[in-house]
Structure 1
């Protein structure tokens, strides 16, 4: 009985195998006919990504010799290349193609957030009107949904809150910042640490070196405060805010002197130097570009280096915060690329500035005058 069953199963397996082979032979012949028709017409087979993916998955399960025998539409190398690409796409970020409507809505969302952040007093209706002025028509409900999704509160509550960045931007023309920087100087007594105290006018990016000495105390700082607030030529004339850190040298007398001259002293939070970022940026620049690259012998050499850098900082150095412009340009400039290029050196070539000298034969109307400092 078992032998008969085994014989029957073997017969059925052989019969099924022959039937499958017949189906495979038919499909192969059908693929060859289709391929010959495409080749005859000169057309290329256009497959979608889904079709390529399915062929790659199915083909990857077969051995190379089987693909060489059965693959007619594409080469085995192509199937393997498709498979590798689809595997890579699984583990890489996919770029979604935005439709025109999605791109338009993204632009509206960005403008809504921009208007709300820059104008704390604007409500939903005001933002809706501002958008209509530039060609975007949406409802007040949509404006509200966009702001709520971004965590921005309505106008009355939004206006009550302020941040440091907005304060700086709003009062830029009446703010000055200050800080100390230290430098090691060789003297007859050995290595001595000198303190340089500077004040900066934010709107003009003008730096004033208020004091350089190895001895700085409350009395010295009190005199510095009187010099800064002098009614005739004090550097803080017209200023309303003075931003500094919590250094002990900003004594009670120092702050009272500034306050009596109408300048409010704002001390940044402890551990947040970024609140005095403009002053910190100047300290970083002067150290990186000048002081850290020199060895100083005596106070005079330090004063000269600081003075030369400040001149370079004002009249020869481009400032990214001022649209890459020079705050107080001194060298003449010409339009276009005509004229002789001249190099100006400071501190033996440590600080360089390149500019063009106007051609004396060029008509005066083609020369660009140096703008006066704002």
Structure 2
């Protein structure tokens, strides 16, 4: 008798188990189908109260399974509906930081009005006065709300004003390298660039394998001859801390009464203009070629220099050319048109079409 009971129990367990598996497969199918249907619907679905009540009725006893099943609305939203319906809605704690006291906000506005300080300096002054309850972002947001600049107003002695005052006669130089293919493998070829901050005009040296002291001095002298022949003014030359800017190199400029300024350590932004040009010539020209020697690098740099000055618009110059072509009257050409035919446009190419520029066909 006992054996029969055991068999019945085992049989019921098998049947129950198979039923659970079948139901699980059905639920999985319905979930997949529901997800497909949901993807066809708009991002937000507005439910009626009757539809909400229906969801609440079936969701009450689902427990944590609701997290996997709910798709039309977020599971936490359904739980809020359930609490509201049952009358057991709990008070949620007020989130976020309390609003800054009115007197403190007035003090921040007064400091901003009376001084040229930025929000960090104002925060320091508040800390000195014993106000510890405000944060950096609080001061910043109060300044924005009251239409004050969040950054300090730059005084005449600050770096950006110095750059603006001397941009016309200030040049920056930078030495960059390019990997080239040789019989012995990959080698570095070096190029020295000088750039004027105001006009963005550049002088590019010939390439070399060995940028030794003699070569650097030779390029300095060639640059000075270039500025004189082009009637370009150079009174300040900035450079980084590379050891190749030796005393004989700097002496060439001192002889011409040109002040040389070495940048501070770990401050690459000080010579950002010329470094940006080095990045431009690499990305737009040198990196697109397999280079086979210093003569090849010099040719690529020369061609890009012509393109850079005479054919490439510059955002920093309001998309104007550095050197505009002259018209027949000897004046710089340029006109405004409302429409133009494609047949009137011609394309100039350099380096096998790698560098392109466009102009209007002559009338």
- TM class by shorter chain equals 0.5 to 0.7
Contact 1:316 1:330 in 2 (8 A): no
Counterpart position of 2:236: 241
Contact 1:228 1:234 in 2 (8 A): no
- The TM-score normalised by the length of structure 2 is 0.55
Contact 2:156 2:162 in 1 (8 A): no
Relative to structure 1, is the Cα distance of residues 324 and 55 closer, same or farther in structure 2, using a 3 angstrom cutoff? Answer: farther
Contact 2:206 2:298 in 1 (8 A): no
Contact 1:229 1:237 in 2 (8 A): no
Is residue 280 of structure 2 the alignment partner of residue 285 of structure 1? yes
Measured in 1, the distance between the counterparts of 2:315 and 2:232 equals 26
Contact 2:227 2:233 in 1 (8 A): no
Secondary structure of 1:212's partner?
Answer: coil
Secondary structure of 1:183's partner?
Answer: strand
Is residue 187 of structure 2 the alignment partner of residue 192 of structure 1? yes
Relative to structure 1, is the Cα distance of residues 56 and 272 closer, same or farther in structure 2, using a 3 angstrom cutoff? Answer: farther
- Structure 1 residues 140-219: aligned runs within 5 Å: 150=150, 152=152, 159=155, 162=158, 164-187=159-182, 191-219=186-214
Secondary structure of 1:213's partner?
Answer: coil
Post-superposition Cα deviations, 1:257-315, rounded to whole Å, max 9, x if no partner, equal 21232222122222222221111111111111111111122332221111111111111
Measured in 2, the distance between the counterparts of 1:317 and 1:351 equals 9
Contact 1:241 1:264 in 2 (8 A): yes
Measured in 1, the distance between the counterparts of 2:231 and 2:146 equals 44
Measured in 2, the distance between the counterparts of 1:148 and 1:299 equals 54
Secondary structure of 1:246's partner?
Answer: coil
Post-superposition Cα deviations, 1:220-275, rounded to whole Å, max 9, x if no partner, equal 22232233334982679522211111111111122232123222212222222222
Secondary structure of 2:261's partner?
Answer: strand
Taking only aligned residues, the RMSD between alpha carbons, in angstroms, comes to 4.3
Relative to structure 1, is the Cα distance of residues 277 and 343 closer, same or farther in structure 2, using a 3 angstrom cutoff? Answer: same
Secondary structure of 2:207's partner?
Answer: strand
Secondary structure of 2:270's partner?
Answer: helix
Contact 2:173 2:239 in 1 (8 A): yes
1:270 pairs with one of 265, 268, 280: 265
Relative to structure 1, is the Cα distance of residues 348 and 215 closer, same or farther in structure 2, using a 3 angstrom cutoff? Answer: same
Measured in 2, the distance between the counterparts of 1:148 and 1:326 equals 36
Query: How many corresponding residue pairs?
Result: 243
- Structure 1 residues 130-145: aligned runs within 5 Å: none
Counterpart position of 1:260: 255
- The TM-score normalised by the length of structure 1 is 0.53
Relative to structure 1, is the Cα distance of residues 151 and 211 closer, same or farther in structure 2, using a 3 angstrom cutoff? Answer: closer
Shift of residue 160, structure 1, vs aligned partner = 7.4
Measured in 1, the distance between the counterparts of 2:168 and 2:157 equals 22
Measured in 2, the distance between the counterparts of 1:254 and 1:199 equals 14
Is residue 346 of structure 2 the alignment partner of residue 342 of structure 1? yes
Shift of residue 333, structure 1, vs aligned partner = 5.7
Measured in 2, the distance between the counterparts of 1:178 and 1:230 equals 16
Measured in 2, the distance between the counterparts of 1:237 and 1:171 equals 14
Measured in 2, the distance between the counterparts of 1:294 and 1:231 equals 28
Secondary structure of 1:173's partner?
Answer: coil
Measured in 2, the distance between the counterparts of 1:53 and 1:245 equals 69
Relative to structure 1, is the Cα distance of residues 232 and 191 closer, same or farther in structure 2, using a 3 angstrom cutoff? Answer: closer
Measured in 1, the distance between the counterparts of 2:346 and 2:321 equals 17
Post-superposition Cα deviations, 1:132-184, rounded to whole Å, max 9, x if no partner, equal xxxxxxxxxxx9x97999474xx9xx74752x333222221111111112123
Counterpart position of 1:222: 217
The answer for unaligned runs of 5 or more in structure 2 is 1-46, 60-70, 78-108, 118-142, 327-332
Secondary structure of 1:343's partner?
Answer: strand
Secondary structure of 2:202's partner?
Answer: strand
Measured in 2, the distance between the counterparts of 1:149 and 1:189 equals 58
Contact 1:184 1:192 in 2 (8 A): yes
Secondary structure of 2:249's partner?
Answer: helix
- Structure 1 residues 290-301: aligned runs within 5 Å: 290-301=285-296
